[in-house]
Amino acid sequence: MILPAIDLQNGQSVRLYQGDFTKETIISPAPVKQAKEINAAGVYALHLVDLDGAKVGFPKNLAVIKKIRAEFTGLIEVGGGIRSLDTIETYLAMGIDRLILGSVALKDPAFTKQVLAKFGPERIVIGVDGTDGKVAVDGWLKQSEVTMATLIN
């Protein structure tokens, strides 16, 4: 399955240089149009990351993601700033197919297990990011002391 990614920052599609929020390259100022172009190319799955949300701990690009969902035909998964049941229910109600939990999996394992049990592994997945074998959190802004292997197990 091809799963192109659109990373969202300030409502635009961007790429960060080595995860540095101050070193962004704007890919498209119109991510909804970008998503439609991906669809038109015959791709029916999309990975969206709310970079601003990952940084602050709650969705910041929700309006753009909602517009993309309305225009994109196919599976959409979203990550970044998903740390509450309300956020999960909001995304699922708007038709997002799969949600990626990252920082919250490390910071609140009980919550993570609860939502996995409630919504299932088809809707909730765990994303483990890191460097040098250690888990990174909060949009890669902080490095934990927990190893990736420990979190995965």
CA dihedral 4, 128, 148, 145 (to 10 degrees): 130
Architecture of domain 5-128: Alpha-Beta Barrel (3.20)
20 is catalytic: no
7 is catalytic: yes
pLDDT computed for residue 79 by the predictor:
96
- Assign 120 a pLDDT band (cuts: 50, 70, 90): very high
pLDDT computed for residue 101 by the predictor:
95
- Assign 24 a pLDDT band (cuts: 50, 70, 90): confident
Distance CA 63, CA 126 (A): 24
Distance CA 59, CA 4 (A): 20
Q: Greater confidence, 133 or 15? A: 15
Query: Of 86, 97, 108, 129, which one is the catalytic site residue?
Result: 129
Distance CA 66, CA 70 (A): 6
- Assign 22 a pLDDT band (cuts: 50, 70, 90): confident
User: Average per-residue pLDDT in the chain?
Assistant: 89
- In total, the chain counts a number of residues equal to 153
Q: Greater confidence, 149 or 51? A: 51
